């Protein structure tokens, strides 16, 4: 049952709206009506099949209701405008983020979520934010959990993210970001010591992109899954966000390769490893 209203003799569907409660605007997500003495729920959860025509609040609502994958598809895009510089890199501009998967690895990472990756140019070129160290420390002890890219540059808290890449996000998106439990080799000394971190913005692991673990330490892949976007053949070739020469760039993965190096995707789209002080691109992921 849907809900309609007649205005000037013309019937209109009501797909949503807002109401004031004690002076605060609240989004309407449903209603009720009585027909012949019986009360019926009226859902107000109509979503535009063109992802970019929906607000982030609507997209988040569809995810939480578990209906997003019935409306949109992996690879669908939405514009996002970033504002600011982080680590000396100017990120200001309008980009496309795209759906990597619905309910990705949900049993471990959290259900009723849509995972998005940045970035793609509005002309359709796959981008990374270039260039950043994964860590300035010598070696890989502590892994993804303690690296400076995660804690200082990407940001770990939408409510306290000034000076980070999270801090360049529009307020509407920050308001609906949801955390994911991401599994990585975060051991201090022993390789293959896999544990979870709670992340609002992260970079992918080797398995999440390639579907297997060949360069990363053993054990990481058991609690990770390949993103549907990459399983379907999504491109691994990326260019800098300010590229003018059509030059392919390397971009970081969060997987430890050994005691001294992390994995990255090289300029041909293959997985390699390098010391974390090297400066490569980052292609962040978030979910709503």
pLDDT tier at 191, thresholds 50, 70, 90: confident
In a domain, 116, yes or no: yes
CA–CA separation, 148 vs 207, rounded Å? 22
Strands 30-35 and 24-28: unpaired
User: How high is the pLDDT of residue 9?
Assistant: 67
* Residue 229 and residue 88 in one domain: yes
Under the banding of pLDDT at 50, 70 and 90, the label for residue 192 is: confident
**What pLDDT score does 2 carry?**
44
Q: Is residue 117 part of a domain?
A: yes
d(CA 118, CA 116): 7
Confidence of residue 66 (pLDDT cuts 50, 70, 90): very high
pTM score, whole prediction: 0.85
Does 64 fall in a domain? no
**pLDDT level of residue 260 (50, 70, 90 thresholds):** very high
Do 38 and 87 lie in a common domain? Answer: no
Whether residues 184 and 246 fall in one domain: yes
Within this chain, do residues 27 and 92 fall inside the same structural domain, yes or no? no
Domain that holds residue 30: 4-43
For residue 24, name the pLDDT band (cuts at 50, 70, 90).
confident
* Residues 26, 107 share a domain: no
Number of domains in the chain: 2
Determine the pLDDT at residue 26: 58
Task: Using the predicted structure, report yes or no on whether residue 161 has a pLDDT greater than 90.
Answer: yes
Please provide the average confidence, as pLDDT, over all residues in the chain.
Answer: 91
26 and 104 together in one domain: no
Asked if 186 and 194 touch (Cβ cutoff 8 Å), the reply is yes
Flag whether 168 is in a domain: yes
173 and 77 share one domain: yes
Identify whether residues 145 and 239 lie together within a single domain.
yes
Please tell me the distance from the alpha carbon of residue 166 to that of residue 150, in angstroms, as a whole number. Answer: 11
Looking at the structure, tell me whether residues 31 and 119 fall in a common domain. no
């Amino acid at each position: 049952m849907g809900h309609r209203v007649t205005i000037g003799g013309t019937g209109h569907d009501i797909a949503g709206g807002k109401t004031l409660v004690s002076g605060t605007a609240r989004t309407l997500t449903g209603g009720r009506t009585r027909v012949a003495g019986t009360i019926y729920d009226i859902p107000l959860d109509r979503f535009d099949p063109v992802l970019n025509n929906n607000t982030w609040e609507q997209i988040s609502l569809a995810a939480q209701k578990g209906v997003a994958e019935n409306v949109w598809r992996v690879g669908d895009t939405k514009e996002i405008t970033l504002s600011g510089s982080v680590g000396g890199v100017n990120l200001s501009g309008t980009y496309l983020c795209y759906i990597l998967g619905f309910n990705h690895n949900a049993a471990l990472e959290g259900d009723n979520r849509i995972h998005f990756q940045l970035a793609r140019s509005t002309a359709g070129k796959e981008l990374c934010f270039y260039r950043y160290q994964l860590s300035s420390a010598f070696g890989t002890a502590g892994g993804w959990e303690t690296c400076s890219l995660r804690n200082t540059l990407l940001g770990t808290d939408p409510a306290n993210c000034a000076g980070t890449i999270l801090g360049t996000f529009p307020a509407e998106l920050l308001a609906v970001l949801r955390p994911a439990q991401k599994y990585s080799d975060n051991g201090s000394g022993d390789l293959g010591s896999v544990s979870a971190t709670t992340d609002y913005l992260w970079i992918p692991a080797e398995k999440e992109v390639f579907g297997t673990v060949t360069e990363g330490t053993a054990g990481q892949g058991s609690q990770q899954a390949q993103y549907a976007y990459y399983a379907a053949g999504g491109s691994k070739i990326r260019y800098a966000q300010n590229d003018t020469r059509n030059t392919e760039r390397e971009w970081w993965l969060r997987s430890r390769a050994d005691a001294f190096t992390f994995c990255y995707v090289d300029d041909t789209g293959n997985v390699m490893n390098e010391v974390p002080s090297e400066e490569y691109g980052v292609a962040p992921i978030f979910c709503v």
